[in-house]
Amino acid sequence: VEEVKRKDEGLWRLSKLSVPVHNDPGKDFLGISEGLLEAIAKVLEFPVPTMLPQEVFSVVRKSFDARKQLKEPKFVYTVDMDVQKLLKLQPRTWDFISQLEPKIGAIEHMPSEKVFDDLIHVIRDCKHRRSVNGSNEVGPKVYSGKPVNATFFRKPKVAVVGSGPAGLFASLVLAEFGADVTLIERGEAVEQRGRDIGALIARRLLSSESNFCFGEGGAGTWSDGKLVTRIGRNSDSVQAIMKTLVHFGAPEKILVDGKPHLGTDKLIPLLRNFRQHLQSLGVNIQFGTRLDDLIIQDSQIVGIKCSDARDGCHSDTRNLMFDRVILAVGHSARDVYRMLLHHNVNLMPKDFSVGLRVEHPQELINSIQYSSLASEVRDGRGKVPVADYKVVKYVNEENVEPTNTSGELNRSCYSFCMCPGGQVVLTSTDPSELCINGMSFSRRASKWANSALVVTVSLQDFGALECHGPLAGVEFQREFERRAAIMGGGNFVVPVQTVTDFLDNKLSSKSLPTSSYRLGVKASNLHELFPPHITQALQHSLLKFNKELPGFICEDALLHGVETRTSSAVQILRDGDTYESTSVRRLYPIGEGAGYAGGIMSAAVDGMYCGFAVAKELNLYEGDV
Ligand code: FAD
């Protein structure tokens, strides 16, 4: 009975429980429905589903599966069953349980939740202290760490630069362990950042410091808030992050949802709560403050130079001294890369991907994915989730189908950061460059579906820019961003082409399909954007996507240029265990900008582990990392 694994003596885990859509209350219901009881009874070989008491089961995961090869779309559940409780409440299941007992799988490795315990225990402790004090104030924490590193006669001072997921989680862990944390962020807090983004959309005013990439919460705040990661959904670290997000206000269903996402409207209040918690721990958060330089003595960092980062505000540089500096600046802080290079910090160019963002009517994607069930989507309020897609294919240099004999596959093409019911947004940080990405709100109710359509690029592609050293990839990105800005004609207007015209290499002359992009689009020939081999790879990928999603190539599909910042083009080298830079001591490069993460969850996990590593190194924490 492969679907049943022993979690421990009293708890069994039942997985791959399928419930057809017509038998399920829908995507938002996370309880034990009659349909699910039927699926459970089938696995347990128990004849009367209604005799199984609902209270002994709890849903661990719920996903929607609408793959074409299925006869019927279905919800797929993982459920935990409390065997002792079941036998107490329903002794007649004993026969079935005892028959199953010898057949069930060995004890499945369940997350020990150790990391989460370490992280959240202190948070709970704080909550407890709050209620004992009868006030919401948690007074300054008396430093009570383990015997302090001999060099410290005070709390160790740590600067965390960047308030994206990596910086926030590093700050949280270190503050919880008693470090004196200062969080430096060039952008604004979410309230002001919202106004800056509003000014961009309504009046085309781009603040170079507070925008879709820079500001509280980092690049992921005005995003789709997808919380999926390749690290593994059940890993300790991912669970720790998820539970912490719930603690700060994310809906509990993210713990169960097979494809959890938040949406911008849920992320903003969550970040506000996160900020208040950090401040209650004594974290000094400085928004509108930019790291300009590092103060290094004898290959060891001793402080940073900062200045006010508000547009039109020119302050003198301030020197701030710290014992440790965590660099979590994301992949759009190109000025930081240049500064690091100036200090001979070890940087390496890294593969990434470039391409275009393709947008379709959401209804079309619903019907491609769900056929007749598409009517159940109902703008995100229906029984089944708004349809998404994820396609990964390979193309070789000649753009012919790879064969086993010729072997080498040298470019993958894939959909990336797909935003169902979302909109295309401007992620430029400099008005002379133009790049885009996608965001959505929690209900994913817009009438468009957008996704990046990208191909991998490596040193082979940008090697010609070797005069830029390790920043050759960054220059490669910039070249296309500048070209896109010029093709759009300025004012953040985005160059577009229908998918069919892109395949035919001709300018779209008929009226264009509508676009969710709010700053205007201009018909252009996107073949003029990339070198021919990248353009051909993109054309080839569209054909492959269409095979998997028939109807993907259509008159209503619009390509937007340019998608360049899929991940960092640089890696800042660090020690695998200590997270410390290999060239400058006491500097800790983390997150996406340092080349160690590729999304909200992986950046948060990297930040959390770095927080533990630094806390350990400072003798604030004794456990394993
Ligand atoms: P960032 O989030 O980039 O944070 C870096 C922070 O450092 C920024 O706030 C920046 O202002 C600050 N900073 C930079 N330089 C300095 C300086 N010199 N001084 C002070 N502060 C500085 N990922 C997903 O997993 N799911 C999604 O749905 C998703 N959607 C996205 C949508 C959009 C529009 C964008 C742009 C990205 C999206 N991503 C998504 C990617 C995700 O946002 C990033 O992978 C993630 O935010 C990286 O986290 P980070 O902490 O490493 O860096």
ipTM of the complex, rounded to two decimals: 0.99
Extract the runs of DSSP E, i.e. beta strands, from 433-493. Answer: 436-440, 448-457
* Sign for the pseudo-dihedral over CA of 193, 197, 202, 206: positive
Q: Does 334 sit in the ligand 1 pocket, CB within 6 Å?
A: no
Contacts of 143 (CB under 8 A, 6+ apart): 154, 155, 178
Question: What are the pLDDT digits (tens) for 122-161?
Answer: 545 544 443 444 433 333 233 333 333 445 568 999 999 9
Q: Does 263 sit in the ligand 1 pocket, CB within 6 Å?
A: no
Give the global pTM. Answer: 0.89
Contacts of 221 (CB under 8 A, 6+ apart): 190, 193, 215, 264, 267, 268, 271
Q: Does 329 sit in the ligand 1 pocket, CB within 6 Å?
A: yes
Torsion, Cα 266 29 92 100, to 10 degrees, reads -70
Q: Does 453 sit in the ligand 1 pocket, CB within 6 Å?
A: no
183: nearest Cα among 159, 150, 153, 157: 159
Please, what is the average pLDDT of the chain? 88
Q: Hey, what are 456's tokens?
A: 């991998």
Question: What are the pLDDT digits (tens) for 91-127?
Answer: 888 888 888 877 776 666 554 445 556 566 654 554 4
Name the residue of 600, 606, 608, 610 whose CB sits within 8 Å of the most ligand 1 atoms, as the mutation to test its pocket: 600
Question: What are the pLDDT digits (tens) for 580-606?
Answer: 999 999 999 999 999 999 999 999 999
Spatial separation of the C-alpha atoms in residues 625 and 620, rounded to whole Å: 13
Place of tokens 């308030």: 163
| Distance linking the first and last C-alpha atoms of the chain | 36
Spatial separation of the C-alpha atoms in residues 32 and 56, rounded to whole Å: 10
* Sign for the pseudo-dihedral over CA of 467, 529, 456, 262: positive
172: nearest Cα among 214, 128, 215, 115: 115
Q: What is the mean pLDDT of residues 435-464?
A: 93
Residue nearest to atom 31 of ligand 1 (CA): 223
How many C-beta atoms surround the C-beta of residue 346 within 10 A? 16
Contact indicator for 114, 256 with CB cutoff of 8 Å: no
